[in-house]
């Protein structure tokens, strides 16, 4: 069973085995967490993403799936890229969001990662309500069998930290 910890701050500054990237399906970088990870991690991450895209994901990584690359210059061994769903008021996409966390933990297990840092997937520009996103994230991590010993949620601001704190109690 993994221990869940919460941290407020910059996910790119975490010293862990793997950092989870809330990627877009192109795997070629973007804004938010994705852009920050690519900028701080350097060109090695983008190079591996391009290779993955060319060999396996020409149309893009499907929503809810996860793949790993080097972490480049980050204080981690790997970056696990997962594509979160865009929130919809009319279409329940919560299973896809849960899949991002399950698939990331599955990839972490395959890599032998013991510490993993997650952002609040889909709660930024993809519009997922933060309280629901926190509930899904925490519940999924708690119920997913994994060899990861610490799952760290790294929240950008105090509001997100407080909402994740409420979801863990």
Confidence grade of residue 163 (pLDDT, cut at 50, 70, 90): very high
User: So what's the pLDDT on residue 59?
Assistant: 79
Residue range 3-168 forms a domain whose CATH class is alpha beta
78-83 and 66-70 beta bridge pairing: antiparallel
Q: Are 164 and 135 in contact (CB under 8 A)?
A: no
Q: Catalytic annotation on 10?
A: no
**Short-list 2, 6, 1, 57, CA closest to 169:** 6
Q: Name the one residue in this structure whose structure tokens are 């890599």.
A: 111
Q: Are 158 and 24 in contact (CB under 8 A)?
A: no
Q: Which of 10, 34, 91, 157 is catalytic?
A: 34
Q: Are 52 and 21 in contact (CB under 8 A)?
A: no
Q: What would the pLDDT profile of 48-107 be if each residue is shown by its tens digit?
A: 999 998 888 777 899 999 999 999 999 999 999 999 999 999 999 999 999 999 999 999
Residues 44 and 153: their CA atoms lie apart, in Å, by: 25
Confidence grade of residue 110 (pLDDT, cut at 50, 70, 90): very high
Q: What would the pLDDT profile of 15-51 be if each residue is shown by its tens digit?
A: 999 999 999 999 988 889 999 999 999 999 999 999 9
pLDDT (mean) for 162-169: 97
């Amino acid at each position: 069973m993994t221990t869940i910890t919460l941290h407020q701050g910059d996910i790119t500054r975490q010293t862990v085995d793997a950092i989870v990237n809330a990627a877009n399906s192109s795997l070629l970088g973007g804004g938010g967490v994705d852009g920050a990870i690519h900028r701080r991690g350097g060109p090695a991450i983008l190079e591996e993403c391009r290779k993955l895209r060319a060999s396996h994901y020409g149309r893009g990584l499907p929503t809810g799936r996860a793949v790993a690359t080097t972490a480049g210059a980050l204080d981690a061994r790997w970056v696990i890229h997962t594509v979160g769903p865009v929130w919809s008021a009319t279409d329940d996409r919560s299973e896809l969001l849960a899949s991002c966390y399950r698939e990331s933990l599955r990839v972490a297990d395959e890599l032998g990662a013991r510490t993993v840092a997650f952002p609040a997937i889909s709660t930024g520009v993809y519009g997922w309500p933060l309280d629901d996103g926190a509930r899904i994230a925490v519940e999924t991590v708690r119920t997913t069998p994994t060899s990861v010993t610490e799952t760290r949620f790294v929240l950008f601001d105090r509001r997100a930290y407080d909402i994740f704190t409420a979801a863990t109690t």
